[in-house]
Each structure stands twice: as C-alpha cells, then as structure tokens.
Structure 1
Amino acid sequence: MFRLRQLLLSMGIVLSLISAATPPATAEAAAQPVVSQILSIEVEGNRFVEKEMVLSKMGSKEGQELSRKQLSRDVRTLHRSGFFSDVRFTGTRVEKGIHLVCHVTEYPLIASLEFEGNEEHTSKDLQLRMKLKPGQMFSPSNQQSDLNTFRKGYLKDGYYQVDVKFIATPRNDGRVDLLVKIHEGEVTHIERIRFVGNEIFSDDTLKGEIFSSESNLASWFSDKDVFDQKRFGADAEMLRQFYLNNGYLDFQIESQQISMTPDKKAFNLTFNVHEGNQYTVSGVDVQGDLVPDRDALIDLLEVEAGDTYDHSDMQATLQALTERVNDEGYAFATVTPLMNRKLDERTVAINFDIEKGAEVYVERIEIQGNEKTEDAVIRRLVQQSEGERYSGSQIQQSKEDVMRSGLVEDVRTSIAKGNTAGKATMKVDVKERRTGSISGGIGYSQQEKVIFNAKVNETNLFGKGYKASLNGEYGRITKNVTANLTDPYLFADNISGSINASHTATDPIATTNYRTTKKGVGLGLGVPISSYVSYGLNYQYNQTNLTIANAAQVTSLFVLAQQGKQTTGELTQRLTWDSRDRMIATTEGYYDQLTFSVAGLGGNEKFYEAAFESKSYFSFGDKNVITFNPNLSASMISGYSNMDTPLYRRYSMGGVGSLRGFDTLGVSLRDPVTKEPVGGDKQVSASLNVFFPIPFIDTTGVRAVVFADAGTVWGAVNATVGGTTVSVTEALSLSRVRYSAGFGFEWMSPIGPIGVIWAYPIRKVAGDVERSFEFVLGTSY
C-alpha cells in the first residue's frame, strides 16, 4: 500500500508539474505544434547513489518524447531498486522541449552494525546471513528480508518466541548506526506426544520409533525434544515404516496436530492413526523375464511364505533382484511387486514381476564434479569398462572403491540411454572432499605428559591421487619427524609405490636407562590381488644409536651389549585381507594380515620375524549400533648367523593397542639384577572390544567401549659383554598369561581418535608395571 500511495502521488506530481510548466495557450501558440522532447534529465537529492546509476535504471532518455506511462514505470523501477524512499519528477517546458528533473529521497546508509541479546548465534554468524550491513541501504525490503532470515533460523533451533527489532540512530552525515535488538526467548520444547487410535502398540513403543521426543532427563544430552517442523514431518514416515515392517499394510496416519501450551513455552504433538490388520505372507514367487534363471532369483528372496509381512524384507528383495538382473547386462530392468491381499484371511501373496528390458553395453563413461582430481584418477577406480556389457555389481564395486579412496565425500552413478539401441552412457558424479590439511595440537599422556604435534597432509597431491604427509611430534620422551609419499598407481594394475624418511629420538622411561636415536628411509610396493586381498613389499634401512642415559646407575648387561650404532636393512612382505566398511570406527568386516621380515640385506643386524594379526567386526541394531570386535595376534622374532635380536625389536606389552591395564613395557622379560625390561622373542595376545553408543548422547563419532585383554611374552634372550654371557629364559605358561578388563570412551575428532580408558589387571605377575588410566590421541582402540 505504501508503494501504491507513493506511485499515485508521484503520478499526480508529474501531471501537475508538467501542466504548471506549460505557459498559457494563446491563439498563436495554439497554431504551433507542442514539442515534448526530453532535452535533459537531472537528478536531485542523491548523496550516496551516483547520478549515472539512477539514469541507467530509467527508461526515459534524453532525445526521446516524454511519456507519462514511461515516467510511471520509472517511478516503480527506482522504488524497486531499494535505494529510495521517494521518487518524483518535475519538468520545465521551453521552446524546444522539456528539461526533466528526477527528485529522489534516499534511504539512509548504514554506518555501523551492532547486535544485542543474541546468545544462541554469534554476531559474526548473523551478520554473514544479513542484507543489512555497513555500507548498505537501510531499506524496508532489506529489513523484511533479514527479519525472515532471523525467524527461519531461530525457528529451526526451536526458538518460537523470537522477536527482532531494528533500531536506527541517525548521524549528522545522513547515515545511521543500526542496532539489531534480539529477544530470543526460550527454546520451545515438546511437552507431550500423544497417539490416538493405537491399540496394538503402546504409546511408549511408538515414541521410541520416531525422531521427536518429550522433554526428560535425556534432553540434557540431545535436542530431540526441541520442536522441528521437518522432523515432525519425518515422524509420520517413520511410524508408517514401523507398522509396515510389522505387517500392518492398511496402516494410515489420519491426521497430525500441533498445539502450543498456554504459556507458549512448549508444544504438544498428536498423531491420529488407523492401524488396520496384520498380514501374513501366504506365498511368494517370481515371474516375467527370469534372468539368469528361476533358481538363482528364488535364492535372493528375503520374503518367505508363512512369515509376517515385513516391508524392509520387501525392499531388500527388490534391490537384490534388480541388481542380479542388472548384472546380466540389463541396466534398465524393473522389478514390480504384485500383491494379492485377502482381507478376510489377512494374508498377502507376493509375485515379483521382472521386466529385463534390452541388453545394454556401456559405450562411454563420463566423470563429473571433479574440479581438482584428474579424470584418470577416478576412472581407474571404476570397475566397469567402456565397450563392455553393463554389470550392476561392477558399478556397485566402483562406487565403493571411489568412496574408499578418500578423495570424495560422495559419489553417484547413473545410466543414460545412448545414441543407439543397446548402448548407454555411464555417468560418475563425484563431490570432492578437501584432501589437504594442516593441523597442530597439544595432547597429553601419562608417559609423555604434554605432547606437541603438527601435521601437513595431502591425499590428492597435484590432483593425481598422490598421498603425501609430513608429521612432527615433540614430547617428554619421544621426538620424531616422519615424511611419506605414496603413488597408489605407480605401475599398471593398481600397483602402488611409496617412499618414506624418519628421524626418531626416544629418552628413557621410568623402567629403562637408555635412549635411542633412529634415522631411516624406506621404499615400498603394494600389489592388489583382488578387491579385498593385497600384497605388500617394503625395504627399510635404519640406523639406530643406543646410549646409556645415566652412567652412574647400574645398567642391564642386555642394554650394555646393545649400546652403540646398529644398522638394519630389512625386507618385509605382507599379505592382507581387508574388507572393513571404513578404516576408522569400523562396524563391519575383517582385517587379517600375515607378515614375514628378514633383516640382513644391508646393515649389520641379522634376524627374521613372522607375525599374524586378525581383527573382526560384527554389528547389531539399526539405530543404536553395537559392534563386537574380537582381535588376535601372534609373532616371533629370532636372530641368525650367531646374532642376537636388537633390544628395540624385542617384545614387551602394555598400553592401548597392546595389553591395557599395564604400563608401556609393563609386561616383559626382565633383567634379574636391574629389573629393566629386555623383551621376549615370542608373544601372543587376544582382546574383545564391544563398542556401543553412549545413552542419551546423539553426537556423531562418540561411543563407549568395554573390553577384555589377555596376553603374554616368552622366549630366551642372551647377551655377551666382555666375555660374560647372560641369559633370561621364560617358557610359555598359561599361569603367566595376563588378563585385564575395563571401559572407555572414544571421540572421532577432526584431528583423529581421542579416547580415555580405565583398565584393571585381573591377573598379573611379579615385576609387572600397572597403569589403570590412559589418555590417547590419534590411536583407535
């Protein structure tokens, strides 16, 4: 209405001013034609908006005939620009035409912007979303836009009492200081959730199946009790899925109501439902294009006769049948469930009708969305090949491989019909992740106390998929720097190549009297044998210098025998099976590795080592996933050619990743005189971790663990110093197997896993060193 009044007023002014500017008609003048050409256009009243900008928005131009309709349009256009609160035209007629003047009144310019009352959102965050900013016009349209933005944002967070006011204080120069005064109010929670019409399932059961929840003690740890319109809409679908999964095919949500409490501090939600009858599957079959054959398709059916209908089984069957037919080259196959319900018997017969369509060959593969990564890097991860018959399983494997590469956040594949019958184009659309990072931090552990660390990491160097990293760590005991560069496709057939260099200095811990300094370089190759099996070959050359920390202290002869510089040239082979669904916070899959190393190919150390490690992951539950993780490892090391194994390579146990509840080197063979740990040449350990969500905490990446560990080391260790030979021998004995149990919490933070554990030794042996509490950074359980 305001703009309409302005427009009518301006049009009236135009008419009156033009009329006033016209001299009284005379007989002579009446005989002359009236000239209404625009001779000039001036702009008056503008201080911040340039004259040229005003003229550029006008349709009326110098040299044109004056048009009252065009002037009306110009008034509307200039108003819509958002710069002016008033626009009007005047004109002075002369003999040759009209001199036109555009009079404008500008909205004030914002000089400064401040916020008051905002606690939920920072001023910086709010300002980024606003149109009202220093240097911008304080116009009604910008005010309304920002009001809508504020309300939408606060409503999303549950603030339904929010009130926003813009207070402008004029300055002498025509600008204003703007104060955004916000009254956030309180978060509007859900006080009560009611269900009407449910007889089969109780209110408590249904409340557990939806996102929204009533305010209770658990609300301190989540926001599920904060009302969210989108979440409320999703609740209906979750209820529908729950009833369908339990066989209620006739279930309907008849209505949903939202009501606010009288004090406007909470909502009540109501779902009116019609449950209907529960159906049993009376029969199931397949028909249509039975590709590859009937028996193969029947084996894929998750739905079975005699079972209560379960919609999740139906969806799983549709997916399995479609993928199996796709795998035979029929990219556009469709599977339709034909359902025959008998209401009186409360049964449903399901017939899966298969229409295979035409056999398809992929003529072209297009990579999309990769701005940094080269096409070849993504293309080499795609199992489907151009010119070959379409394979659904290969495309699914391709998606998994691209995701596992760590180069993308998301990948989607689609198939479009080609230019000719039987041909198709495969599109791989990726969303790249930020692969480079620079991080630093301060950590703490019982051994190191304060630890400073820095890391530069790039997993897609030059867009070619190269992985490069430079890490540094400085603690009370350990100072190290490592650098690594890996090309995942150094040679054909996915053979990877890597090079590394490192420098590590280790000071004594409480139970030792020596320090070591190690420098090393290494080369490696990785050869994939199948999707899950790989072979690795590495050569590492290290120079280690072991020195006595305190000469006045009695030092073990085993340590004295090892002091000085030692060089090791070690060739390592690894055979690995890795089917884990992800590398961190794994929930499903297996990891098995067999390792064999030989030292003596360069350097003065001669020994060989064999090791086996196995990890399994089994998960249960859809919402609150519980993961069982049993682990087993065993290894042995032995010198040859009359050489002893190096002290720093012998086996001891203790700490996260080893035997929790015991300190680093807390379980070991020990010098009978100094009690220093000297390690064994054989070890075995086993553990069971049970990971589960922390009750009432929905934060992603946070979980708890309970665990039990068992392990021991044994063997024979010899040393000769000045013609004196000493040895420590310990046989394998079940009575010397250590046990521990405990619990902990883990957070998958942006800088890596962070965790705390409390572990308690159940069985220990004289000389063992315990540690009940442990804080870990960068290491998973």
Structure 2
Amino acid sequence: MFGVLKKTSYITLAMLIVLFCSIGQGLAEEAMTASQADGSAPDIIASIDVSGNKAVESDAILERMVTKVGQKLDRKRISRDVRKLYATGFFKDVQVLGVVKADGRHLTIRVVENPVIATLEFDGMNELKEKDVKQRTKLKAGHIFNNPELHADITSLRKAYLKKGYYQVDIQPIQKMREDGRIDLTMKIIEGEVTRIKRIHFIGNEAFDDTELAEAIASRTTDLAAWFKDTDVFDRKRLDADRQMLLQHYMNKGFLDARVESTLLALSPDKHWFYVTFSIHEGPQYQVSAINVSGDLVPDRETLMALMQLKEGELYSLEKLRNSINDITTRVGDEGYAFATVTPLFQRFPEQKRVDITLDVEKGREVYVERIEITGNLKTEDKVVRREMRQLEGARFSSSNLETSKKRIGRLGFFDDVRVSMPRGSSPDKVDLKLGLNEKSTGSWTFGVGYSQLEKIFFRSSLKQNNFLGKGYATSLSGDIGAKTQNFDASITDPYFLGEDLSASMNAFKRQSRLQTITSYKENSYGGGVGFGVPIIESLTYNLAYQFTQTTIFDVLLPASAVLLSQVGKQTTGELSQGLTWDTRNSSLTPSSGSVITGSMGAAGLGGKNRFITTSAEARSYFDLGEGFVLNPGANISYIKGYGGRNVPINRRFSLGGIGSVRGFDSAGISIRDPLTNDLLGGNKSATANLNLFFPLPYMRTSGFRGVAFADAGEVADFNQNLSFAKTRIATGLGIEWLSPVGPIGVSWGFVLRDRQGDLRKKFEFALGTAF
C-alpha cells in the first residue's frame, strides 16, 4: 500500500512540472509576439532633452554625449556620458531620467550647474604678486566654479609659497553666494613666516670640518649676513645646488670618488626651522701622477699640452680639468673642427692615491661655414647683425670667432637671446650657421617729476631709441627743468659710419644755471660737436671729438673775487680732444665683471677765444663676488692748464663732492676758494679714489634696487700746489641705487673721516640721473 502511494506521488510531481513548463513557454511566446508587433520601440531613444542648465547651452551638453536620438538604449554608454559631463567641471550633479512611450524612450538629462564666479580675490597675499598669480590660476572671474580646479589652484599657490620658504602658509577658500546664483570667491591666505635653516650638519666628513664645508655651499644658517642675502631661507633648488657645490668642493681638492649619498631634512613641529644633514662619502684623495693627450692632436701635441691646467704632481681638480677640456676644444675648433670632442680617461690607483689622466681628442670633420642665416630680427636689419660677426661666410669655422660674434651681438643690447645651431650644408665639409634672435624693446619715452636737495621739485623727460629705424643708430633727446637749472640735450650716433667699422656722433646742448648759492654767479651755455670712434682691437677704441661751446657768465654776487670778475661776459671754446678706451665690461649699465680704462687729452684753441689743455685718466674694475655682490674699485686723475696768456675758464676748473665723486661732501664742497670773498674758484688738478661694494637688498632682488657700501677719497689742488695724500679728504657710508625708468636714482648717507677747513659736508644726498 505504501509503495503504491509513493509511486502515485512521483507521477503527480512530474505532471506539475510539465504543466508549468507549458505555461512558461506560452507566456514567452506571447511576449515575443508582442515585441515583434511594436518593432522593439521601447529600446529605441526617441528624444533627449536637457533641464536645469542656465550658463551652459543645451546643444553644448548634447554635443559632448555619445548617446544620440535613434540609437538603441545602452546603459553603459549613458554611464560614460555622465562621467564625461562631470569631467567638464561645469556641473555638480548629473542625472539621466527616462519615460517609455509607444514611440520609444524619452530621456531627460537633468543637471545642477556649478555657480559662475563673479569675483576672485586674494586676501592676505603679500609675498606673491596678484597679477602673476591670476595668470597661473585656472579659476577666474566669469568662469564656472568647480572643485577640482579649486584644489589645483590651492596646490599651485602653496607650491609658490614653498618655493619662497613659507612652509607655514594656510590657504582657505571662502565662497559667498549672490542672489543671482553667482559666487564671490576669496582665497584667504595666512602666509606666516618664512621657514629658515637652523642647523646644517655633515656626516662622513673627515678631510674637512663642518665649518669649511658650510662655507662651500650656498645655504646658510640664520645670522645677520644670511638674513641680508636670504640664504638662510629654506629653498629646495638651492639645496640641490648645495649637493653639487659640495661635490665640486671635494673634487677640486683631489677627491675624485667623492659623492653626496643623501640629504636628510627635518622640519620642526612649529614649521619655523629646518635641520639639514648631508651624508658624504669622501673616498681617497688623488694626486695626478700623469697627464697626457691622445687621439687627433690638432694642431700638435705641444700646443694642446700648453693648454693643460692640470699638472703632474698636483692634487686632482675638477675645475682645472673642465677648463683644460674647454680650452682644448676651443683650440681644436679654431682649426675648423666645429664638432670636436674631448673625453677625459681616468686610470685610478686607489691604494697609491694617484690617478693618470688622458684627454682623448676626437676632432670630427673639418668644416667651412657655407651660409649665415639670421632669424628673429623682425625690426633690426640683417646688416646690423652681420657686421658684428667675426665668423664669416666661406671661411673655415673658428670656435673663438663664433664666441666673439655672440658676445658682440649680445652687447648691442637689441636682443634678449642669441641661439646658434649648425646644420649640415650642401656637402659634408660645410655647415650653415643659423642665428636665432629674440628682439627686445630698444626705445623708451619717460617723463618724471622728481625732488632733489639742490633743485627741490624738477621735471625730467627723455626720448631714446638705441636701434633707430632698425639700423643700429642710437638717438637721444632729453630735457631737465628745475628751479635752479635747465638742461636740454640731443644726440645721434652711428656705430658704423658709412658702412665702416667707425662710429660717428653728433650732439647739441643748452644749459642754464642759477646756482649762485654755490658758484656766486649765473651761467648760460650752448653748443654742439661731433665725435668719431675707431676700434683698434676688440676692446680698445680710439676716440676723436670736437666741441664748440659759448658760455655767458653774469649776475656775479658782490663782493667777488678778481679771478671771477675777470671772466664775466661771453666766452667761446673750440676744443679738440682725443683718447683711448679699454672696455671689457659685461654691461655698460650695471656691470658685474670686466674693466673700463680711459685716457684722454684735449686742447682748446681751434675756434673760440679760450686757450687751455687738459688731460685725464680713469680706471674702474668690477669683480663678481657671487650672490649679487660686486666689488668696484676705481680711480681718476685730471689736469687742466691755460696757455697763450689765457686763464682756464672758471666753469672748467675742478671741484669735488657728492654722488659721482666724494660722497659725504656737498656739491663742490671740496674745492679752492678765494680766501677773501669765499668765492668758488676750483683747482687745476684733482684726484679721486673710490671703492664700492654693491649688494642686493632683501626682498628687492629683481626690482632694480641695490645697495652700496662705499669708501671715497679725493683732493683738489691749485695751480701752485701739488696733490698730497696728507690733504686728501676721506669719507665712507652707505647708499641705495634704483635703476628707474627715468634714469638712475641714488641716495647716499656719507660720513666724513677726514676733511679740511672750508669744506662743505653733506651727510644725506639724493640725486637723479647719476649712478654710483
């Protein structure tokens, strides 16, 4: 009985399974029939609308989407479109909604836009220039706000502050919503103080102590000198340079295998101080046991060995090795081998602490310059550049001539950069010399109102063009109008007169002086002249000039000196002068290296009534001490004497004092005066000596300002006297110079160390148009 029931149950279960399968198959067939009847319309996109957008056009949104009307619905494609719309940064929310109708699916792209930035301000930013920051930021007024760009801008700002050593900086964005939906965005910045270096430590150094190594790098711990130069402010780029400077220090002392293994940095919890540790591996100190050259010995072995700065028996020096390689490469290049290479080969003997060095020369092919192509000179004529070239077309290549050409083009002052490339010419032994130039502005017009202790308020205007018409002509027109003086000048110079290596210039001037408190008389003068300059060698020039001047002395304050009264009235002077100038300065405006030495002689008598002769000599040198420090010693001596029974004009006699001669003394404060009337007469001989130390001012390194510490000495002697050190006036002091658009502006505080009775002191002085 039980078996029959069990069998009946199995049969019943099987029948139920068959029934359900039949019903499912029928439903599936019915659904398939319905789908075929309407053509699968619900899966086709019938329309796409956009809602919620105000600033961004609907067409712009639809254009960014891959999903289009008429396509079959693809949810993965729609997800990608949503991510793409988010990536634009225009929206903070994107939703896709759909409605199924008989004709298909109708989609709606619902967006919530990010607000438009009405204003963008930076509050508390003092160390960075707002103009520069706004050029770098991605968020700008009128643009749509979005968080990724906000975070990118905050990161960019933070990096800019870190470069300046501000590790305490905090930047907080503040958004204020307007009624119209726009926002005012303010970057609230708390700069904090700069993070400075508290300690510099060295590990692994045995040959040199910490003090010597600390002097070899640029970074410094905090002290007065470091504060003045900002070298105690933490700077990662400077720290990278310190690693190289340490390495060079060791290698210049014979440690060929030295290396800086690591640099450890520790920042104090309050972010005020950095602690820097250099880990150093010194290795043995090598002595040069043999030095030689091999390979292509051009022009010959003796010539190349004479250029070797490293000598046998000396300690190895990386600096001397580099100089030797450069000198040999240049010398081989002078033989026409433009692509010569010099490779140092070392054979070390660590146990004996010696090294053999061989410089292997590979001359490459000898080449001639087929063509010289100049690009980038949009205004300057080709001939202005070509006449400075010492490497000529058709000539054999010369490294020295090419380097001289680059320096001469750079000294024109017309270009920011001179780039050289040498592609292959029409044959293997020829190259084309291509000069890529980047022109800069060479003209200026300035107008200014100034103040000086002498003039009080005065006006100055000047119009200059150093590359007039693109022909290299230097033109200048200037005028000063003050309560005591009026000066007008005009000049033009052609550096290559008539196409020859000969400079020619013309000038005209008019002066009015009412300085009776200083000179006891008034003076009017005008005149003009011509000058010529002939280069003798690269840095030596011969100058010849003629100047005609008419001067009127009047309104002499009585009682007056007999010498002064004898010169009242009109005077005329025709003066012919000649001189030599040796100039190797790297800049005529703010030189940091080189020298300028001048010697001149002149005689008045070629036209005019005055008769006198004059001689002078001046020398100034400039030594770059690094970090913006420049040492500038200089000296001048001058002499003048009348002849033919004529006295020297009173306005041509010598007096000293003030910026440009002996600071700490008033203008003409060192002179010869009439013992009875105290009238300023001047002397016929003078001498000065100056020592300037120019230095950068903190936080004003790129603004045209610089400071100067000076020591001046000077003396003036009369016709029957000799210059004497015992009578020499001495002063020292500090000053500030600004290379302003209207010319150099100088301020000095002078302290007299030695003077003589009758000298006029002036502790503080302000001058415009005069450099130290």
TM-score by length of 1: 0.85
| Match in the other structure for 2:579 | 574
CA distance in structure 2 between the partners assigned to 1:275 and 1:527 by the alignment: 55
Residue type of the alignment partner of 1:105: V
Determine which of 477, 492, 495 is the counterpart of 1:488: 495
Matched, 1:742 2:731: yes
| Match in the other structure for 1:555 | 560
Cα deviation code 1:323-355 (max 9, x no counterpart): 111111111111111222211211112221111
- 3-state SS, counterpart of residue 750 of structure 1: strand
CA distance in structure 1 between the partners assigned to 2:572 and 2:527 by the alignment: 10
| Match in the other structure for 1:733 | 722
Segments of structure 1 that go 5 or more residues without pairing to the other structure are 1-23, 716-730
Maintained 8 Å contact 1:744/1:755: no
Name the CA shift for 1:62/1:503 in 2 (closer, same or farther; >3 Å).
Answer: farther
Maintained 8 Å contact 1:517/1:545: yes
Maintained 8 Å contact 1:219/1:696: no
Matched, 1:611 2:615: yes
- 3-state SS, counterpart of residue 581 of structure 1: coil
Name the CA shift for 1:73/1:262 in 2 (closer, same or farther; >3 Å).
Answer: closer
CA deviation after TM superposition for structure 1 residue 358, in Å: 0.9
CA deviation after TM superposition for structure 1 residue 376, in Å: 3.2
Determine which of 141, 147, 162 is the counterpart of 1:134: 141
Maintained 8 Å contact 2:624/2:631: yes
CA distance in structure 1 between the partners assigned to 2:130 and 2:745 by the alignment: 32
CA deviation after TM superposition for structure 1 residue 671, in Å: 4.4
| Match in the other structure for 1:5 | none
Maintained 8 Å contact 2:560/2:677: yes
CA distance in structure 2 between the partners assigned to 1:351 and 1:89 by the alignment: 75
Matched, 1:634 2:634: no
Using the TM superposition, name which of 311-320 and 38-47 deviates more: 38-47
Name the CA shift for 1:483/1:341 in 2 (closer, same or farther; >3 Å).
Answer: same
CA distance in structure 2 between the partners assigned to 1:399 and 1:372 by the alignment: 19
Cα deviation code 1:513-571 (max 9, x no counterpart): 21112233333333323211223333434333322154xx2233433333334444444
| Match in the other structure for 2:667 | 664
CA distance in structure 1 between the partners assigned to 2:673 and 2:157 by the alignment: 68
CA distance in structure 1 between the partners assigned to 2:111 and 2:692 by the alignment: 73
Maintained 8 Å contact 2:640/2:648: no
Residue type of the alignment partner of 2:160: G
CA deviation after TM superposition for structure 1 residue 306, in Å: 1.6
| Match in the other structure for 1:50 | 57
CA distance in structure 1 between the partners assigned to 2:736 and 2:305 by the alignment: 44
Name the CA shift for 1:410/1:745 in 2 (closer, same or farther; >3 Å).
Answer: farther
CA distance in structure 2 between the partners assigned to 1:163 and 1:471 by the alignment: 50
Name the CA shift for 1:444/1:760 in 2 (closer, same or farther; >3 Å).
Answer: farther
Determine which of 22, 32, 36 is the counterpart of 1:30: 36
CA distance in structure 1 between the partners assigned to 2:143 and 2:552 by the alignment: 67
Determine which of 202, 223, 227 is the counterpart of 1:216: 223
Using the TM superposition, name which of 258-267 and 297-306 deviates more: 258-267
CA distance in structure 2 between the partners assigned to 1:547 and 1:144 by the alignment: 74
Name the CA shift for 1:672/1:29 in 2 (closer, same or farther; >3 Å).
Answer: closer
Cα deviation code 1:272-295 (max 9, x no counterpart): 111122111112222222222222
Matched, 1:273 2:280: yes
CA deviation after TM superposition for structure 1 residue 617, in Å: 2.2
Maintained 8 Å contact 2:336/2:368: yes
CA distance in structure 1 between the partners assigned to 2:723 and 2:573 by the alignment: 34
CA distance in structure 2 between the partners assigned to 1:30 and 1:273 by the alignment: 82
Name the CA shift for 1:125/1:295 in 2 (closer, same or farther; >3 Å).
Answer: closer
Name the CA shift for 1:204/1:668 in 2 (closer, same or farther; >3 Å).
Answer: closer
Maintained 8 Å contact 2:715/2:729: no
Cα root mean square deviation, aligned: 3.3
Matched, 1:344 2:351: yes
| Match in the other structure for 1:528 | 535
Name the CA shift for 1:305/1:692 in 2 (closer, same or farther; >3 Å).
Answer: farther
Determine which of 743, 748, 771 is the counterpart of 1:756: 748
Determine which of 581, 591, 595 is the counterpart of 2:596: 591
- 3-state SS, counterpart of residue 342 of structure 2: strand
Residue type of the alignment partner of 1:82: G
- 3-state SS, counterpart of residue 132 of structure 1: coil
Counterparts of 1:299-314 in structure 2 under 5 Å?
299-314=306-321
Name the CA shift for 1:363/1:39 in 2 (closer, same or farther; >3 Å).
Answer: farther
| Match in the other structure for 2:677 | 674
- 3-state SS, counterpart of residue 172 of structure 2: strand
Name the CA shift for 1:452/1:257 in 2 (closer, same or farther; >3 Å).
Answer: same
Determine which of 629, 650, 661 is the counterpart of 1:647: 650
CA distance in structure 1 between the partners assigned to 2:725 and 2:348 by the alignment: 66
Counterparts of 1:107-256 in structure 2 under 5 Å?
107-121=114-128, 126-256=133-263
Counterparts of 1:331-480 in structure 2 under 5 Å?
331-440=338-447, 447-449=454-456, 451-480=458-487
CA deviation after TM superposition for structure 1 residue 104, in Å: 1.8
CA deviation after TM superposition for structure 1 residue 698, in Å: 10
| Match in the other structure for 1:778 | 769
CA deviation after TM superposition for structure 1 residue 421, in Å: 0.6
CA distance in structure 2 between the partners assigned to 1:624 and 1:133 by the alignment: 37
- 3-state SS, counterpart of residue 216 of structure 2: coil
TM-score by length of 2: 0.86
Using the TM superposition, name which of 491-500 and 668-677 deviates more: 668-677
Matched, 1:683 2:689: no
Residue type of the alignment partner of 2:343: T
Maintained 8 Å contact 1:659/1:711: no
Residue type of the alignment partner of 1:677: L
CA distance in structure 1 between the partners assigned to 2:489 and 2:352 by the alignment: 71
Name the CA shift for 1:591/1:276 in 2 (closer, same or farther; >3 Å).
Answer: same
Cα deviation code 1:724-747 (max 9, x no counterpart): xxxxxxx24356973122223354
Name the CA shift for 1:582/1:52 in 2 (closer, same or farther; >3 Å).
Answer: same
Name the CA shift for 1:463/1:241 in 2 (closer, same or farther; >3 Å).
Answer: same
Name the CA shift for 1:590/1:219 in 2 (closer, same or farther; >3 Å).
Answer: closer
Residue type of the alignment partner of 2:523: T
Residue type of the alignment partner of 1:562: Q
% identical aligned pairs: 40
Residue type of the alignment partner of 2:255: Y
Residue type of the alignment partner of 2:109: C
Residue type of the alignment partner of 1:649: R
* Equivalent residue pairs, number: 737
Maintained 8 Å contact 2:745/2:766: no
Counterparts of 1:37-76 in structure 2 under 5 Å?
40-61=47-68, 68=75, 70-76=77-83
Using the TM superposition, name which of 58-67 and 606-615 deviates more: 58-67
Maintained 8 Å contact 2:492/2:505: yes
- 3-state SS, counterpart of residue 388 of structure 2: coil
- 3-state SS, counterpart of residue 144 of structure 1: helix
Cα deviation code 1:47-77 (max 9, x no counterpart): 1112232233233455666655544443233
Maintained 8 Å contact 2:640/2:653: no
Residue type of the alignment partner of 2:635: N
Residue type of the alignment partner of 1:482: D
Residue type of the alignment partner of 2:307: L
